[in-house]
Chains A and B, each alone.
Chain A
Amino acid sequence: MPVSKLVGTKVKRREDPRLVQGLSHYVDDLRMADVMHAAILRSPHAHARINGINTDAARALSGVVTVLTGADIGDSVGSVPCAAANPTLRTPPHPVLAQDEVRYVGEPVAVAVAGDSYTARDALDLIEVDYEPLPAVSDLEKALQPGSPLVHSQWDSNQAFTFECGTGDMDKARAEADVIVKQKFIHQRLAPIPVETRGVVARYFPGEDELTVWSSTQIPHLLRAMLALMLNFPEHRIRIIAPEVGGGFGCKLNVYREEGLLAHLAMKLKGTVKWIEGRRENMQATIHGRGQVGTVEAAVKKDGTILGVTYDSLLDTGAYHQLLTPGMPPLTGLMISGSYKIPTLKFTSTGGFTNKVATDAYRGAGRPEATLVIERTLDLIARELDMDPVELRRKNFAQPSDFPLQVATGLAYDSGNYQAALDRALEMVGYQDLRAEQQRLREQGRYLGIGFSTYVEICAMGPSAALPAGGWESGTVRMDFTGKATVLTGVSPHGQGEETTFAQIVSDDLGVPIEDVAVLHGDTAVVPNGIGTFGSRGISVGGTAVYMATQQVREKAEAIAANVLECSTDDLEFEDGKFTVKGVPDKGITIQEVALQAHVATKLPAGMEPGLQATSVFEPSNFTFPFGTHICVVEVDTQSGEIEIKKYVAVDDCGKVINPMIVDGQVQGGIAQGLGQALLEEVVYDEDGQLVTGSLMDYAVARAEDLPQLEFDRTETPSPVNPMGVKGVGEAGTIGSTPSIVNAVVDALAPFGVKHIDLPLKPEKIWRLCQGGNK
């Protein structure tokens, strides 16, 4: 094994110079000749029948190329796909433009194409739609009650699917328990809000009969397959390019109407068509995250032993399924055990159609719900038993010796040392002193709270058996004539820094300078196959594929080197990019020279193919399970309802670390979103399905001032699932942080008899809870 030089160190990101200079190309930055601009007219109604659309005036506007409605498109473009497998699933048709009915505010109704974006926008004002409003249902629980307005009239209810998992006998657990703790949870809808909205440029080449689509997506290869199906056009004649992508957080792990629509327009108009989503469209028509309601029940012994937990939940699917909508509850269900040994677990979920945009994967995707439920439940139990929440956690933690840990949800956790992360975090925060301080302040009428989240999450998505469209990832490593290395990866980074981390791996293992390693991604014509970036899989699945390909390249290089040096491979040492004969240090050949030899192809071992490259497709045998402890300390102003975070400590364990700077960045960014969920963010629809938080004027995301100073540390428990021992870190901060903040606030308000608060913890809610006075 070569010595790690770069792996594990802070290597500055190689993608940054272009980004800090504004020289990169996001979809909207692509400059193409003769591009036409599309603007989309969207439904202002949550539910309405379309009796007619008059596009005459819009078509007549100078500069307008065409205006299309759902009727014009008919069945020439297929339904937007849903890939989640579930036998109970009801899948409504999901056309690129509404056909006869609109079912959520923001549903695309017509598209205007013009020579410039201003004219396209003007044309929308000239389209007249005759809507006949229909009864709408916005509230999830109401939608699932008998007699609710139906989102899709072909079914007799709004039930979209059911799902359950878990094992054990809950009745027995209840019977043996000393205490039963029950709590309802509302997981509000969240808007992912990448700062770059979605955008699509589609170009059709009539001569070649080829279609190229640039899309701000996390999954170029999957998008190509899905578009092929939607358009009934051969997959091999479609090229998808994800150029620079300005954040995704799950919402670009999807296939959207606009991608099908723009491709269709390009083919119909035999040219190039562009659409860039506005932020208000983004709030209306890009998926939302979370949107669950559920009730937990825990059966517990007096000493704190948790015998069983059930969580019965509903998922607000929205009006149509997006790619993975029904796939979110399983992720909640599978992770409901948290980091605890709970012999009996039962999870149920029912999806309900509502007149709202679909929910789907948003950073964490189903796991934040599980973590919030179990971490809050632990605190509820601690309160009920009058136990320190830390003691209760210790009591129920899985121990290092338990791994691989078979969990009652059916998963096997790979590795973990929960106690170590907790201990480190407690030490950093100064726990015992804090409790004393809390007591002291309470006497002065000040309310300090300490909240824990000893989370575990599921990453490295994942074994193909567990995913709807493959969980493997591809990596190709190639050295060319001149000794430069090119890496092709099927993951599609959009901020995660794989151009750097993958190059670190290759540079170390091939002994080439990192400047000589190029990492290419996001283009189906360049990268032979792939799945994409989501589920914290970049390093653990994509990186592993690259790692394995790198080993193969080195083995081949070694064989060539041995042949050139006329020795056996066993006689060779490899260091600093040079193969030398053991004991004869001046007899050697650099890997660059080997690369040249591989291409000149005159000194290859008999039967060896020329060239120096390898492709590996890594199929993980299991998920990985990163974990950690987040501790949040808050002070609540019970008069204004405001929450001040006094201290925040995070100790995360994502296995082996390739680049600590990037890992820190992922955790910090994740915490900002988890904090947003806890304190600020909430998509609000009114009862009639009107979107109240329709822009950033009403939907708050965290700004620099909203974040406290954070203190970090790490423990490092390698994963046995992949050769590098990495786990993944993209979602940990989001999943781990939210519960610690809520638990802290509930702890602060204990003197007011507060046991639970649903998110977000807005000042008015807090103030109302304190109105009863200190109990």
Chain B
Amino acid sequence: MSNTTTIQVRVNGVSRTEEVQPRLLLVHYLRDVLGLTGTHIGCETSLCGACTVMVDGAAVKSCTLLAVQTDGCEVETIESLATDDGLHPIQEAFWDCHGLQCGFCTPGMIMATRQLLQENPSPSEEEIRHGLEGNICRCTGYKHIVDAVKQAAEQMKAGT
């Protein structure tokens, strides 16, 4: 019953080849097989966004994807953002603006922000709130998250 399939995935720039059960969820593959535990699990119904990662440049909920569906894909997780030069501007902005409290939603929130700013480098407040509709934060009340996204947008525009 537990048949396996071989998949090849580039995760945070590193090629991985792995035998997995087809039913293995991407989030479990990342966390349990690769040890990338920055991607969190907050629900069972694809509604919290804590598990958000990028697959081929698009934000997805990794709890709602099979690892086998990403065979041949490029996956980026929260662990890929900071470099030797320091934090990514979005991470920096979340820190500056107190966009997190318990931090559990944060990796997903940051990945969702990344997608948002990719598509809309200068979002309005309303667009930010709308763009984060797939992510729940129970701690912050979102205001500081919105501030962080605004700051990150400014910074990233200045940086490019």
Taking Cβ atoms with an 8 Å cutoff, the residues of A that contact B are 12-13, 15-17, 19-26, 28-29, 31, 117-118, 193-197, 244-247, 249, 276, 278-280, 494-497, 661-662, 664-673, 695-697, 701-705, 707, 709-710, 733
Interface centre among A244, A495, A661, A662 (most CB of B within 10 A): A495
Are A17 and B142 interface neighbours, CB within 8 A?
no
Given A246-B104, A668-B143, A703-B132, does the pair A196, B40 have CB atoms closer than 8 Å?
yes
Are A246 and B40 interface neighbours, CB within 8 A?
yes
Are B82 and A707 interface neighbours, CB within 8 A?
no
Are B45 and A696 interface neighbours, CB within 8 A?
yes
Q: How many angstroms from the CA of A376 to the CA of B105 in the assembled complex? A: 34
User: What is the interface size of chain B, counting residues whose CB is below 8 A from a CB of the partner?
Assistant: 58
Are A244 and B103 interface neighbours, CB within 8 A?
yes
Q: CB-CB < 8 A to A695: which residues of B?
A: 43-45
Are A31 and B35 interface neighbours, CB within 8 A?
yes
Q: How many angstroms from the CA of A193 to the CA of B44 in the assembled complex? A: 13
Are B146 and A704 interface neighbours, CB within 8 A?
yes
Q: Name A12's contact: one of B95, B130, B132, B146 (CB within 8 Å).
A: B95
Verify if B156 is at the interface (C-beta below 8 Å from A): no
Q: Name B38's contact: one of A21, A197, A669, A702 (CB within 8 Å).
A: A21
Verify if B62 is at the interface (C-beta below 8 Å from A): no
Are A278 and B136 interface neighbours, CB within 8 A?
no
Are A15 and B103 interface neighbours, CB within 8 A?
yes
Q: CB-CB < 8 A to A117: which residues of B?
A: 28, 32
Are A707 and B142 interface neighbours, CB within 8 A?
yes
Q: CB-CB < 8 A to B24: which residues of A?
A: 118
Cβ distance B60 to chain A, nearest Cβ, rounded Å: 16
Are B79 and A249 interface neighbours, CB within 8 A?
no
Interface centre among B37, B38, B138 (most CB of A within 10 A): B138
Verify if B140 is at the interface (C-beta below 8 Å from A): yes
Given A22-B78, A28-B37, does the pair A12, B96 have CB atoms closer than 8 Å?
yes
Are A20 and B42 interface neighbours, CB within 8 A?
no
Are A707 and B143 interface neighbours, CB within 8 A?
yes
Query: Which 4 pairs of residues, A with B, have the shortest CB-CB distance?
Result: A22-B38, A246-B104, A19-B103, A495-B102
Verify if B139 is at the interface (C-beta below 8 Å from A): yes
Are B139 and A495 interface neighbours, CB within 8 A?
yes
Q: CB-CB < 8 A to A195: which residues of B?
A: 40, 42, 48, 50, 102, 104-105, 136-139
Are A705 and B44 interface neighbours, CB within 8 A?
no
Cβ distance B39 to chain A, nearest Cβ, rounded Å: 7
Q: CB-CB < 8 A to B128: which residues of A?
A: 704
Q: How many angstroms from the CA of A709 to the CA of B40 in the assembled complex? A: 28
Number of A-B contacts (CB under 8 A): 182
Q: How many angstroms from the CA of A666 to the CA of B100 in the assembled complex? A: 11
Q: How many angstroms from the CA of A702 to the CA of B144 in the assembled complex? A: 15
Are A20 and B110 interface neighbours, CB within 8 A?
yes
Given A16-B103, A697-B47, A703-B136, does the pair A670, B141 have CB atoms closer than 8 Å?
yes
Q: CB-CB < 8 A to B105: which residues of A?
A: 195, 246
Q: CB-CB < 8 A to B77: which residues of A?
A: 22
Contact with A along B97-136 (1 / 0, CB 8 A): 0101111111100100000000000000100111011011
Contact with A along B1-42 (1 / 0, CB 8 A): 000000000000000000001011000100110011111111
Contacts A495-B102, A664-B98, A665-B139 known; 8 new A-B pairs at CB < 8 A: A22-B107, A23-B38, A195-B40, A195-B48, A195-B139, A196-B42, A672-B142, A695-B43
Q: How many angstroms from the CA of A686 to the CA of B100 in the assembled complex? A: 36
Question: Which A-chain residue is minimally distant from B132 (CB atoms)?
Answer: A704
Verify if B54 is at the interface (C-beta below 8 Å from A): no
Cβ distance B83 to chain A, nearest Cβ, rounded Å: 11
Q: CB-CB < 8 A to B142: which residues of A?
A: 668, 672, 702-704, 707
Are A704 and B91 interface neighbours, CB within 8 A?
no
Q: CB-CB < 8 A to B104: which residues of A?
A: 26, 194-196, 246-247
Cβ distance A338 to chain B, nearest Cβ, rounded Å: 24
Given A21-B38, A118-B21, does the pair A669, B140 have CB atoms closer than 8 Å?
yes
Q: How many angstroms from the CA of A687 to the CA of B3 in the assembled complex? A: 44
Cβ distance B38 to chain A, nearest Cβ, rounded Å: 2
Q: Name A13's contact: one of B44, B81, B95, B141 (CB within 8 Å).
A: B95
Interface centre among B24, B31, B47, B145 (most CB of A within 10 A): B47
Are B23 and A247 interface neighbours, CB within 8 A?
no
Q: Name B87's contact: one of A20, A194, A280, A496 (CB within 8 Å).
A: A20
Q: CB-CB < 8 A to B103: which residues of A?
A: 15-16, 19-20, 24, 244, 246, 495
Q: Name B94's contact: one of A20, A247, A704 (CB within 8 Å).
A: A20
Given A12-B96, A21-B81, does the pair A665, B138 have CB atoms closer than 8 Å?
no
Are A16 and B94 interface neighbours, CB within 8 A?
yes
Q: How many angstroms from the CA of A661 to the CA of B147 in the assembled complex? A: 12
Are B91 and A20 interface neighbours, CB within 8 A?
yes
